[in-house]
Chains A and B, each alone.
Chain A
Amino acid sequence: MTFDWSVIWTNLPRFAEGAWMTVWLAVVTMALAIPGGLILAFLRMSPFKVVSFAAATFVEFFRATPLILQIYWAYYVLPAYFDMQFSQLTTAILGLTCNISSFNSETFRAGILSIRKGQWNAGKAIGMSDVQIMWHIVLPQAVMRVLPALATTWVSLFKDTSLVSIISVSDLSYVSLKIRSETYRILEVLTAMAVIYWLMGYPQAKIVDWIHRHYKVVE
């Protein structure tokens, strides 16, 4: 068996572009899915039954179906039956954001509900409104408390972005598989792909570990 690692070096700029797209997708998705998750969490805790039911349905749909299906569905079904046509990149962001927002909403909701009632009463006792208590007292504590869970979601999001390659978004996976089919250097290309994902993912996992240790709830 002979190896030809030169395919990696000659295609390095393309790998870099793919890696950049992967990072970009993850960052943009999370940037949208944090407010998205918060909004869904608030809607789900709404006293209006219709609102909370709608939010719960949305969340449970996206949590309980595979991301790959959601991306396919958005890409093929929306244009065909609903006359909604988005670019591949927009579709990818849309699918990922709906999915991650749903997970984040449950994380935020758990965090908000974990703040004990006494904190609400203390806020009320100085005359604060419910909105002020949520914003100044409950949410800041809840976010600190769920930071480890959000970090874990981030790491899986980072890897799950690879699924958008199925609709030809040129992330690291798409670019790598393309180079593989052009060069037939399967082992070399897949190894390079693994190494690049690992180099990017490992430090993140370490940071997540640190966050878990640092933001442990101390009461």
Chain B
Amino acid sequence: MSAQETPVKRINHGESPILSFENVSKRYGTLQALDQVTLTVNRGEVVCLIGPSGSGKSTALRCANALETLDSGRVLFEGKEVRADDNRNARQVRRRMGMVFQNFELFPHLTVLKNVTIGLTTVLKLDEAAADKRALTLLAKVGLSDKASAHAANLSGGQQQRVAIARALAMEPALMLFDEPTSALDPETIGEVLSVMKALADEGMTMVVVTHEMDFARRVGNWVVVFDKGRVIEQGPPRQIFEAATVPRTREFLNHLGWHGESKIEPAREPKQ
């Protein structure tokens, strides 16, 4: 792999990584969702997980957030093993990790403000005034101060996703996980969510982003991990992945998305099943 030939210094390289996967495998029935996945996320990095649908990217995020038990291998977060089968451990992990879902998953019976404060009042035990104050700051940050008293159903998809980001940020996480945050959005609202994410990255937030937005991965990501059939087939800095991918399957995937980068790669032949 060229990453080994010309080693690229990653952000905070050499420090203990905030999140690492060590030979993680996970199987659903006959589907090998994750196959010996090893990867690291350093503090301050934006790591983008890309690859075809069903290649294991989202499963990896769910394993990081203790939403899935592993068949083998381990996931370490802030130096401690993540254990989905241990409720206390799982809750401690999740409290330090924000997660944003493809389908937003706002709480429809609550106002926008309450969606953001519910974790503060129930988990962090803040009093209502302090929770409201923090929530309003975050809603301002995602540009939705005026929607505080609205219900989720009355917001556009992009607005809902921005509330979901504010809800996760309210817990002051050390790491943010994004699971295809723009896949369920209308094209015209994708941009507003991506720009909120970019602003977050610019502030130095550590992020793991599962995405099909190659432009985002290229411009905002510091490190790109390519998944295929549950395995990490290639990883490296965006320049390398998008312009000089060494693994044919990576090039094939990028071509399939219509991404040709600056390199001249012959058109994909569609060798699909």
Contact = CB atoms under 8 A, between A and B. Distances in A.
Interface stretch (A53-61, A70-78, A119-127, A160-168): A119-127
B103 A118 contact: yes
Nearest to A140: B109
Interface string A107-149: 0000000000011011011111110100011001100100000
Contacts of B171: 126-127
A144 B109 contact: yes
Interface in A202-219: 218
Contacts of B109: 137, 140-141, 144
B120 to A, nearest CB: 9
B168 A126 contact: yes
A218 B106 CA distance: 14
A128 B153 CA distance: 23
B183 to A, nearest CB: 14
A189 to B, nearest CB: 48
A126 B119 contact: yes
Contacts of B106: 122
Interface residues of B, number: 29
Contacts of B98: 125-126
**A: contact size bracket:** 10 to 19
Task: Determine which residue in B90, B101, B106, B119 has the highest number of CB atoms from chain A within 10 A of its CB, and name it.
Answer: B119
A114 B96 CA distance: 29
A129 B107 contact: no
A106 to B, nearest CB: 22
Contacts of A129: 87, 91
Contacts of B107: 119, 122, 137, 141
Contacts of A125: 65, 67, 94, 97-99, 101, 168
A121 B61 CA distance: 12
B101 A122 contact: yes
A144 B106 CA distance: 16
B159 to A, nearest CB: 16
18 contacts: A118-B103, A119-B105, A119-B107, A121-B67, A121-B105, A122-B101, A122-B107, A124-B67, A125-B94, A125-B97, A125-B101, A125-B168, A126-B118, A127-B92, A127-B94, A127-B171, A129-B87, A136-B122
Interface of B: 65-67, 87, 90-92, 94-95, 97-99, 101, 103, 105-109, 118-119, 122-123, 153, 164, 167-168, 170-171
Interface of A: 118-119, 121-122, 124-130, 132, 136-137, 140-141, 144, 218
**Across the A-B interface, the 6 shortest Cβ-Cβ residue pairs:** A127-B95, A126-B119, A122-B105, A125-B99, A127-B123, A118-B105
